[in-house]
Amino acid sequence: MTLLQQLPLSYSLFFSSFSTCSKLNPLFYKRRRPIPFSHFHSLNRLRPRLLSVSASENKNGGAYNTSTEIAKSFDFASEERIYNWWESQGFFKPNYERGGDPFVIPMPPPNVTGSLHMGHAMFVTLEDIMVRYHRMKGRPTLWLPGTDHAGIATQLVVERMLASEGISRTEMSRDEFTKRVWQWKEKYGGTIANQIKRLGASCDWTREHFTLDEQLSEAVIEAFVRLHEKGLIYQGSYMVNWSPSLQTAVSDLEVEYSEESGHLYHIKYRVAGKPDYLTVATTRPETLFGDVALAVHPEDDRYSKFIGQMAIVPLTFGRHVPILPNKNVDREFGTGVLKISPGHDHNDYLFARKLGLPILNVMNKDGTLNGVAGLYRGLDRFEARKKLWAELEETRLAVKKEPHTLRVPRSQRGGEVIEPLVSKQWFVSMEPLAEKALQAVEKGDLTIIPERFEKIYNHWLSNIKDWCISRQLWWGHRIPVWYIVGKNNEEEYIVARSADEAHEKAREKYGKGVEIYQDPDVLDTWFSRMVMMGIEFTGTVPFSYVYLHGLIRDSQGRKMSKTLGNVVDPLDTIKEFGTDALRFTLALGTAGQDLNLSTERLTSNKAFTNKLWNAGKFILQNLPDTNDSTAWENILSYKFDCEDSVLALPLSESWVVSKLHLLIDSVTGSYDKFYFGEVGREAYDFFWGDFADWYIEASKARLYHSGGNSVASVAQAVLLYTFENVLKVLHPFMPFVTEELWQALPNRKHALIVSHWPQTQLPRNTSSIKKFEILQALVRAIRNARAEYSVEPAKRISASVVASNEVIQYISVRDADQSVHLVAGDGLEAYLPLADMVDISAEVERLSKRLSKMQKEYDGFVAKLSSPKFVEKAPEDVVRGVREKAAEAEEKITLTKNRLEFLKSNVLVSKQA
C-alpha cells in the first residue's frame, strides 16, 4: 500500500479539489454487488407527497399510479426524507456496474467545531454537481467526506467550556484534557456533517474520516519521519506568527489583516558624539528596546552623511546601534529613517540575518515585555506603548504623534493582534516540495480551473517560505520526536514512529538506563498541500484538476461578517427558499469569481422550482391512466433517437425535441468543462422560455381539442420525453425537486440519481426550429401590439394571418387599411383590426392630451438648456441629466405623433366609408 493510501494528511486542503484518477485507490473502494432499485412499497413513508400515490410492486421496481390529488407546491420539509432514502439505498457509493473511469473528489474537510456557512454551501453545491453528473454518466464515483480536528479552534472551545465549570486547562494533565476534548467531539462533532447533508451532499458517508482517526494519525507520523529522513524537516529558532492569547504559533493563512485606525509615532534618536539626531517614524514604539540598527536609503541626501555612524536608542541608558544603508527603505514613508527591530518584524528579521546583526526579543509569549525592556518589564505591549510615549514626551525625545491607518495582523481564531516573534519551532523546507508541484502544472499533469489562477498558484509556490509546522497545543497529532533527559534537546533527539521505537533507538545509542520524553507540541498539517505531498510520497500527481470558486458576498458586494451583520445562514435560507433554489443560485456564478447573494435571486430561483413543479403537475394530469395499455402503447411507440422520427413530428413537437437535443449537447459540453453557470442558464432558458412558455401551451391544442387519443399521444409522448430529460439535466443542480418529480412519472425503473445521462448527438430538425421561431416572432408581435394599445388580457381580438403567400383568412383592402400590420418574417404576416383593440376616437383624444403635456415638459427642458446661467453654473451632472430627459421626451413625442397620425388616418377612412 502506498503512503498516499494511508495519507489523508492530505485532508488539509488549500484548494477545493477533485480527482479524475485512472484507477481508484484500493483504500477507498471495495467491490460490491450493484444495488438494485428497490420496490417502492415503502415510499409512502419515505417520500413527501407530490400527489396521492399508490405503489404497485413488480420485478422492475416501484411504479406509480397517479391521481388528481396533486400538491400545490413542493414541500421543502420532504428534502431530508428524500436524502435519507438515497443514502439508505446505497446510491452514494461507487458503482462499477456500468464501467468507466472512476471520478473521485476528496472533500475539503470542515472543522469539527464548525457550523454551516455560505462558504460551505458553495463548495458542497459545486462538488455535488460534479459528483451527481459523473455518477449519471456511468463513472464509478466517490466523494470522500471527512472532518478536520481543528486543533486551535477545538482546544479553544473546550477550554471555554471548562472555564464555565471553573476549571483551567493548566490545572489538568494532558491526558485528562484530551479525554475531555474527545468527549466533546463525540457529543458535538457531527453537527457540521449533518448540516452538509442538508445541502444534499451525496458523499459516501460510510467512508467518512476524522483527521485524528488512528489510520490517519499513523499516516501523519509516517510522513513526518520520512520527510525528516530526507532532511526536509528541521528544528530551529526563526520568526513566526505568535498568538499571545492562544499561546501558539499560527500559519500565515491563519492571520487576517485589517485596516484599522492607529498612530505614527515620531521619535528622536541622537547621533552618538554629535548634536544631531535622526527622527524615526514607527507604529510600534514599544519595540524600540529591540532595535539593533537604524536604516536609511543610501541615496537620501538628508541622511547619507550619517551612514556608518552610531545612534543612541532612547530610554536604553545609552545603547548604541549602527546607522546602515538599505535600498529597500521607502524615502517617502514617515521620515525616511527606519528602525530595525528584527525580533518583532519579518522584514527587519531578514535584513538583520543578512547582515549578521543580533536578534533581540523584547516580548514574552503572553504579550508582556521581558527583561530586555528594563523598567517596562511585565507590562502588556499596548500598556507599555502608552507609558513609553509619555516618558518620551517628558524627556523631549517625542516629536509628534499623528493619526495613521494601520494594517493590523489578527488571529483568525482568537481575534487578537498577532506578534511577530522569534521562537524555536519545527519547520518544513518547502522549496523542494513546491518545485515538483510547479512542474506538475507546467507539464500539464495538473489543470487549474479557471486557468487565470495558474499565475497565482505559480507565484505562491515560487515565493513560499519554509513552513512552521509545530503548534503549542495539546489537541492534535503529537510531534514524533523524543528528547534525551540531560542532553541538549536541539542537538540530541530521536525521531520515531512510536514511543517503543524511540526507547529502542535511545537504548542503542545511550545505553539501557537512558530516559526520554516526547516533544509537547503538536503538528500543524496545513502545510500538507495535496499536490506537494502526493507527488513527494507517490511520485504522481494525486488528482487531475483543481477547481477554485469565489467568495459569497451580500447583495451589496460586501464580504459577509458578523461585524457588518450581513451573514446569511444557509439553513435559514433553505427553510424559506428550499435547498434546490439555494444550490441553483450559488451554481449560477462564474468559476473563480465572487457571487453577490440577494433575496431577489433566491426568490427568482424558488419560482423556478415552482415552475418545474407546476409543469410536472400539468404533464401528470394529462397522461393516460397507467391501466390504459392502448394509450401507453401509442405514447411509447414514439422514438426520438432517429432522424426520420424527429422529421415526421408535427411542427411544435419537432421544434421542442430538436431544441432539447441541442440543449443536451450544449450542457453536456459545459458540464465537462466545469462551466456550471452556463449549464444553469441554458437549462433555465430552455425549460422556462421554450418548454413551459411555448410548448406546453402549444400542446394544449392537441390534448384538449384532438377529438381522440391517437392525436393527443404525440403531445403526451413529447411532453414526457422532454420533461424527463429536463429533470436529468437539472438534477445535479436541483436534486430534491427533480427526484420527486421523476418518481411521480409513470414507469420509473430507476432513481433519478442513478439514471443514465441523456444521449448526445441526437437528431434535430433545423427547418422546424426556424419555422417555429418565425411563428414565435409573430405571436410576440401580436402580444406587443395588444400591450401598446392597452388591450385587456381577457379580451379576444380577431386576426388575419398570411402564411407563405396563402391567405388563411381573406381580408379586404379597406379592412387592411384599418388594421395593425405585423410582419414576422419569411412570408408570415398578420393584420389586427384596430376596431377590435381600441376605441379609435377615444384613443386619439387621449393621445392628443398626452402629447400636449409631453410637449410642455419638453419645452421646459429646452428653456433650461437655452439659459447660459443654468448651463454654466449648474453642476455638470445636473445639466447632463436635463439633457438626457430632453432627449427622452423628444423621442416620446415623435413616437406619439406617429401613432396619432396613424389613428387619425383610420378615423378618416372610417368616416368616408
C-alpha cell at 465: 517560505
- Residues of the chain with pLDDT > 90, as a percent, come to 70
**CATH architecture group of domain 242-421:** Alpha-Beta Complex (3.90)
Q: Using one digit for the tens of pLDDT, what is the confidence trace for 662-680?
A: 999 999 999 999 999 999 9
> Does pLDDT of 186 surpass 60?
yes
Residues linked to residue 141 through DSSP beta bridges, in sequence order: 103
Q: What is the pLDDT of residue 794?
A: 78
Q: What is the pLDDT of residue 59?
A: 32
Q: What is the pLDDT of residue 430?
A: 94
Q: Using one digit for the tens of pLDDT, what is the confidence trace for 159-178?
A: 999 999 999 998 999 999 99
Q: What is the pLDDT of residue 909?
A: 44
Fold adopted by 840-911: Helix Hairpins (1.10.287)
C-alpha to C-alpha distance for 647 and 658, rounded to whole angstroms: 9
> Does pLDDT of 283 surpass 90?
yes
> Does pLDDT of 682 surpass 60?
yes
Q: What is the pLDDT of residue 905?
A: 67
Q: For residues 469 and 99, which has the higher predicted lDDT (pLDDT)?
A: 469
C-alpha to C-alpha distance for 241 and 411, rounded to whole angstroms: 9
Q: What is the pLDDT of residue 823?
A: 64
The full length of the chain comes to: 913
- DSSP code of residue 376: G
Q: What is the pLDDT of residue 561?
A: 80
Most confident range (mean pLDDT) of 42-46, 608-612, 814-818 is 608-612
> Does pLDDT of 54 surpass 50?
no
Element (H, E) at 425: strand 419-428
> Does pLDDT of 23 surpass 80?
no
Mean pLDDT of the chain: 86
C-alpha to C-alpha distance for 107 and 211, rounded to whole angstroms: 12
Angle separating helix axes 735-744 and 579-587, nearest 10 degrees: 120
Most confident range (mean pLDDT) of 10-14, 59-63, 822-826 is 822-826
Q: What is the pLDDT of residue 849?
A: 87
Domain edges within the chain: 242-421, 773-837, 840-911
Q: Using one digit for the tens of pLDDT, what is the confidence trace for 413-442?
A: 778 999 999 999 999 999 999 999 999 999
Confidence of residue 252 (pLDDT cuts 50, 70, 90): confident
C-alpha to C-alpha distance for 278 and 291, rounded to whole angstroms: 14
> Does pLDDT of 814 surpass 60?
no
Q: What is the pLDDT of residue 305?
A: 94
> Does pLDDT of 280 surpass 50?
yes
Q: Is the CB of residue 148 less than 8 Å from the CB of residue 12?
A: yes
C-alpha to C-alpha distance for 329 and 326, rounded to whole angstroms: 6
Q: Is the CB of residue 208 less than 8 Å from the CB of residue 190?
A: no
> Does pLDDT of 832 surpass 50?
yes
C-alpha to C-alpha distance for 835 and 795, rounded to whole angstroms: 13
Residues linked to residue 146 through DSSP beta bridges, in sequence order: 209
Q: What is the pLDDT of residue 37?
A: 27
Q: Is the CB of residue 523 less than 8 Å from the CB of residue 251?
A: no
Q: What is the pLDDT of residue 707?
A: 59
Arithmetic mean of pLDDT, 388-394: 97
The verdict on whether omega for the bond into residue 542 sits within 30 degrees of 0, i.e. cis, is: no
Q: What is the pLDDT of residue 50?
A: 43
Arithmetic mean of pLDDT, 134-156: 94
- Residues of the chain with pLDDT > 70, as a percent, come to 86
- DSSP code of residue 483: E
Q: Using one digit for the tens of pLDDT, what is the confidence trace for 730-783?
A: 999 999 999 999 999 998 889 999 999 999 999 999 999 998 988 888 888 888
Arithmetic mean of pLDDT, 537-550: 92
Chain centroid to CA 652: how far?
A: 40
Three-state DSSP at 760 gives coil
Burial class (CB in 10 A: 0-12, 13-18, 19+), 266: buried
Q: Using one digit for the tens of pLDDT, what is the confidence trace for 320-374?
A: 999 999 999 999 999 999 999 999 999 999 999 999 999 999 999 999 999 999 9
Q: What is the pLDDT of residue 790?
A: 73
The label of the residue with cell 421523476 reads: 742
C-alpha to C-alpha distance for 471 and 248, rounded to whole angstroms: 6
Q: Range with the lowest mean pLDDT among 34-48, 217-231, 826-840?
A: 34-48
> Does pLDDT of 16 surpass 80?
no
Rg of the chain over all Cα atoms, to the nearest angstrom: 37
The count of other CB atoms within 10 Å of the CB of residue 346 is 15
Q: Which amino acid is at 381?
A: R
User: Could you report how far apart the first and last alpha carbons of the chain are, in Å?
Assistant: 98
Longest dimension (CA), the chain: 127
Q: Which of 353, 384, 411 is nearest to 289 (CA)?
A: 384
C-alpha to C-alpha distance for 177 and 626, rounded to whole angstroms: 64
Q: Which amino acid is at 101?
A: D
**Which pTM was predicted?**
0.81
Q: What is the pLDDT of residue 645?
A: 93
| Cβ-Cβ contacts under 8 Å for 433 (sequence gap 6 or more) | 232, 529, 532, 533, 535, 536
Q: What is the pLDDT of residue 412?
A: 85
Chain centroid to CA 204: how far?
A: 22
Three-state DSSP at 720 gives helix
State how beta strands 141-144 and 320-325 pair: unpaired
Q: What is the pLDDT of residue 826?
A: 63
> Does pLDDT of 652 surpass 90?
yes
Q: Is the CB of residue 830 less than 8 Å from the CB of residue 822?
A: yes
Q: Using one digit for the tens of pLDDT, what is the confidence trace for 83-105?
A: 999 999 999 999 988 888 999 99
Confidence of residue 182 (pLDDT cuts 50, 70, 90): very high
> Does pLDDT of 39 surpass 70?
no
Confidence of residue 907 (pLDDT cuts 50, 70, 90): low
Q: What is the pLDDT of residue 895?
A: 78
The count of other CB atoms within 10 Å of the CB of residue 564 is 11
C-alpha to C-alpha distance for 356 and 462, rounded to whole angstroms: 26
C-alpha to C-alpha distance for 404 and 737, rounded to whole angstroms: 55
Q: What is the pLDDT of residue 795?
A: 76
C-alpha to C-alpha distance for 145 and 153, rounded to whole angstroms: 20
CB-based contacts of 411-415 (< 8 A; 24+ apart in sequence): 411/243, 411/245, 411/246, 411/250, 411/254, 411/255, 411/256, 412/250, 412/253, 412/254, 412/255, 412/256, 413/152, 413/153, 413/156, 413/243, 413/246, 413/250, 413/254, 414/152, 414/156, 414/243, 414/245, 414/246
Arithmetic mean of pLDDT, 111-130: 94
> Does pLDDT of 570 surpass 90?
yes
C-alpha to C-alpha distance for 354 and 405, rounded to whole angstroms: 30
Residues linked to residue 803 through DSSP beta bridges, in sequence order: 806, 828
Arithmetic mean of pLDDT, 860-875: 90
Q: Which amino acid is at 361?
A: N
